[in-house]
Amino acid sequence: MSIKIQEQVPLAGLTSFQVGGPARYLVEVSTPDEVDEALQFAKEKALPIFILGGGSNLLVSDNGFTGVVIKPIAREVKIENNQIVAGAGVALVKLVLAAAEHGFSGLEWAMGIPGTIGGAVCGNAGAYGSSIDKNVSRVTAINLVSGEIKDFLVGECGFAYRSSFFKQTGEWLIWQAVLNLQPGKPEEIKALGKKYLDDRMSHQPKLPSAGCFFKNFTMEQLTATNPELVKQEAVQGASKGGKLGCGFLLERLGVKGMHVGGATVSPLHANFIVNENHATAEDIKTLAEEIKAKAQKELSVTLAEEVRMVGF
């Protein structure tokens, strides 16, 4: 066996929230053969599997995960047939910069989003009106049960708002993604990426978080639950492309500054729960539940977590 199996590995340091207990087992994999070995190991132990990317969209329970965490660390970026091929473990930011170096434009919107390309494909990460499904041409993934390696064309990836077939089923490890980008001048691509990054830094909290905690709404969803709210001029004004930022609603709800233990709703962004002072996962979960209850009671809207809960 060539893989190194680590036991009782604290997950807090592997997540952007910096909370959470240990993984019973953690295995880093850099080849499909190693994935196979890790899958065999989990099968022999009859333990559940969790795939860890950059840990930037997760809330891991204080008790950790009592199974096998598999972390793809294939971090190669190649150019093949005028397309970029990136291993699942490539950091999104590094990918934007590598694309710029090779004169590929189209991913600049992702500058500053933490995490890996594997995680971005799984959750169809997006910002500034774009999302990764617009860049993906093909995804290679490995089935967690059979070990089958399969190529999925973009149309087979089941992409939807912050979702994909891979997220819905939880049955595949995304191994690599092929991206379709346009030719551009490296300096211009880098300058545009920096513009997005600067904008992000100007309004995003610096404390540990997992990004926006709750999903945005479509106006259709809101109309179904609270048609009066949708008619309001301010709500109409704040909606873009048929969507309303959840942060806008949470701001109106007055959640900024709400806290439980060391977890606080950022005063800078109402949809960011931040780990201000040694929060536990339980603090964060309880705070999220309080926000959900308040939104339901006062606005008749049901918030859905964008952050993935692990080990609860």
Q: Does 51 bind ligand FAD (CB under 6 A)?
A: yes
- Alpha-carbon Rg of the chain, whole angstroms? 20
Q: Please tell me whether residue 64 binds ligand FAD under the rule CB under 6 A.
A: no
Using CB under 6 A, pick the residue from 209, 266, 275, 280 that binds ligand FAD.
209
Residues in contact with ligand FAD, shown as a per-residue x/- string from 77 to 96 under the rule CB under 6 A: -----------x--------
Within 113-172, the residues that bind ligand FAD by CB under 6 A are: 113-116, 118-120, 122-123, 125-127, 166
What whole-number distance in Å separates Cα of residue 132 and Cα of residue 125?
6
Which one among 52, 69, 178, 255 touches ligand FAD, defined by CB under 6 A? 52
Nearest of 127, 58, 129, 50 to residue 93 by alpha carbon:
127
Residue 292 has φ and ψ, to the nearest 5°, of -60, -45
Q: Which is nearer to ligand FAD, 16 or 105 (CB)?
A: 16
Of 60, 18, 22, 12, the closest CA to residue 207 belongs to 18
**Cα–Cα distance, 165 to 169 (Å, whole number):** 6
3-state helix, strand, coil in the chain (%, to 5): 35, 30, 35
Return the number of the residue (61 or 209) whose C-beta is nearest ligand FAD: 209
Q: Output DSSP code: residue 14.
A: G
Nearer to ligand FAD, 93 or 238 (CB): 93
Shortest approach of ligand FAD to residue 231 CB, angstroms?
Answer: 29
Residues that bind ligand FAD (CB under 6 A): 16, 50-58, 72, 88, 113-116, 118-120, 122-123, 125-127, 166, 173-174, 204, 209-211, 308
